[in-house]
Amino acid sequence: MSPPSPFRYAVALLCAVVVGGLVPTARVYSAEDAFWSAHVEPLLQAKCSRCHSPTKSRSGLDLSSFQSILRGGDHGAVVLPGRPDDSPMVRLVEIGSDPHMPPKEQLSREEIDLLRTWVQRLTNTAHSSATASTVDSKDPVGTDRAKTSKSRVRPRASWTPERAIDAFLAEGWRNQRVQPAIAADDASWLRRIHLDLVGRIPTAVERQQFLRDRRRDRRQRVVDALLASPEHARHLAEVMDTVLMGRRGTEWETKRRDNHWQAFLETSFRENRPWDAVVRDLIVARPEGGMDRGAQWFLYERRNNAQAMAEALAPVVFGVQIQCAQCHDHMVAREIKQAHYWGLVAALNRSKNVDTPNGPGVSESAIGGFASFANLRKESQPALMTLFNGRTIPETWPKEGEKESDDAGKYQTPPAPGKESPQVVALPRFSRRAALAEAVTRDNPLLARAMVNRIWALLLGRGLVHPVELMDSKHPPSHPELLDWLAEDFARSGYDVRRLIRALVQTRAYQLDSRPSHDRAPAPETFARAIEKPLTAEQLYRSLRIATGNAGGTSETKPDGAEATLRQAFLRQFPDVFPAEYNASLQQAMFLSNSPLFDALLQPREGNLVSRLEAIQDPRERVRQTFVEVLGREPDAVERDESQRYLEAHPGAAGTRHLAWALLTGTEFQTNH
């Protein structure tokens, strides 16, 4: 609420510290891989990669990955787990060491201490695991078969996908001696499934109806109803819009809507179109009207920049990011070659935006686009249409000095003859984009793997490969055979996205509680408990309106006026979808504390949350109702007593609003758990 006051911060402290369970914080994992990714890897890339990388491993030492460091170099091990004083990598960077690394630079004391801490926290178990998981750089999928012993699970043809998933995960729990969490209660599950499938918390009416339902299949009934609702298609469209296009502000959101991009996504998910067909439409970008109208905007918004097109497309069709291979082969994921980057660019570099009487289009030339690229040795190579999945699109290059003719015979639909003529979408008889679409949507297992991994992360909080867009050899899957099986099953189903979602939400793992069964929480990659997921901007915006009683409905597609302003404010402050590691920002905290837009949700209006709470005279009942309305659960004894004492000490509307504010801005409300 605005303006801030010591009183407000006292309430926040009350909720975060005294009340205990009121605002549970996400558990921080101190595993070696998390510390490596957050602190050590960036340091070594900045200070050491020039001499110790896959392309230039001086003294046989490659410091680009966890595994390569633990393998050591020509002179043996450089890291001894748990023994920083005896580890050459630490000794050689110390101040005054001789010899000294880096040769002409001194790491700061803080940087040296980071290395010392990392080595100290390593264990012999981690060392054995890391050195065992040597990756075959010839494997284009980037799986790591050595990391996990071969599974004994053999799904039968009669098994449903959820049964197969449960079997693979249960085997992993047994092998790792992990005790999974108990099943989530009905109220927690209902909140989770609404956030995941329709992008909002359930309304009070929906919650009451479900909790009163005693039918054994009540959860399945909710799943089926949500999957069939218009809100589900809208929610998936919002998620994929951000994944495919990124957030660029109000102006571009308006352009996407006006040019049918968002309608294309929403229609695709509402009609449950096969995912490979959707991807094909994005690449070919020649909509014929109806269902595929708006598909061309994926390329059109890149404004004739073939590199931007390629970089956006690679995670969708291959599950990897390729921009690091622009100037050289990928320095860490060695299977990603510079030729793959420029091969994908070549397949798209004949594209040109045109504005026709029917709207924006992406034309394609029948000639040109024959380019070369230079590697780090300044050797020039032709940019053939060689792709990461091992496919090469054949094409005859003109001879040196030969000039191509752009005659009409090379087109099914030729370009406009003059500048004064209306623009048309030229269609060549040989279309690089059509050939590319065929190469990545037919017999390309990476397409299915990438989508399965993304939907898994959307629903389970983390991909089988994490982060989701780095499905390379450096990021092996936690359950390789499960990922293989799911990708094959997804392809066999005809790339049925809705079937995949339905299967995942019916698994045992999806329905587990977020609280671990023991004091030591299982690692997130075991999926032995529900992983807390930060709400996206859209989820948070809609859920706040429902919780505060300001929704006025749950299926709005285009809010206007003050609601549109509020929605855009949340999109600016909470931009992440699928964050590799979520960290709340100071700007987000200030927005929730000081924004008049957020404050307006807690001003009493007829029928909204605050007005209803103020009408309750008994402080004990007011506390109970606040928890039920905001968090969908009853307060525990400590929460009830502390919150009641607070309301008794601060009677009136201000105390009620501050208590509601504290719950709404706490971790429990702002995560899906």
The DSSP line for 64-123 is: SSHHHHHH-BTTB-S--TT-GGG-HHHHTTSTT-SS-SSTT----HHHHHHHHHHHHH--
SS3 of 367-431 = CCCCCEEECCCCCEEECCEECCCCCEECCCCCCCCCCCCCCHHHEEECCCCCCCCCCCCCEECCC
User: Which pTM was predicted?
Assistant: 0.80
At residue 458's C-alpha, the angle toward residues 538 and 665, to 5°, is 45
**Per-block mean pLDDT, blocks of 10 residues, the chain (673 long):** 39 39 35 68 81 72 75 82 89 89 88 88 53 38 44 89 96 94 96 97 95 96 97 97 93 93 96 97 90 92 97 97 92 90 97 91 95 89 94 93 90 76 83 97 96 97 94 92 96 98 98 90 94 93 92 58 82 82 82 88 90 92 94 94 92 89 93 92
CA distances from 510 to 123, 466, 530 (A): 31, 17, 7
| Residue whose pair of structure tokens reads 């201490």 in the numeric block | 113
Q: Alpha-carbon distance 149 to 152, whole Å?
A: 9
Q: Alpha-carbon distance 671 to 26, whole Å?
A: 9
Cβ atoms of 381 and 350 within 8 Å: the answer is no
Return the SS3 of 490: helix
Taking the CA atoms of 121, 125, 128 and 134 in sequence, report the sign of the dihedral they define: negative
pLDDT number for residue 139: 43
Return the SS3 of 360: strand
pLDDT number for residue 19: 38
pLDDT number for residue 38: 73
CA distances from 652 to 550, 604, 615, 659 (A): 21, 12, 10, 12
Cβ atoms of 381 and 439 within 8 Å: the answer is no
**pLDDT of 34-84, one tens digit each?**
677 778 888 887 888 778 865 566 887 878 777 678 778 878 888 888 888
| Residue whose pair of structure tokens reads 């050899």 in the numeric block | 473
pLDDT number for residue 119: 87
Count other C-beta atoms under 10 Å from residue 358's C-beta.
12
Cβ atoms of 108 and 138 within 8 Å: the answer is no
Cβ atoms of 537 and 591 within 8 Å: the answer is no
Q: Alpha-carbon distance 326 to 375, whole Å?
A: 9
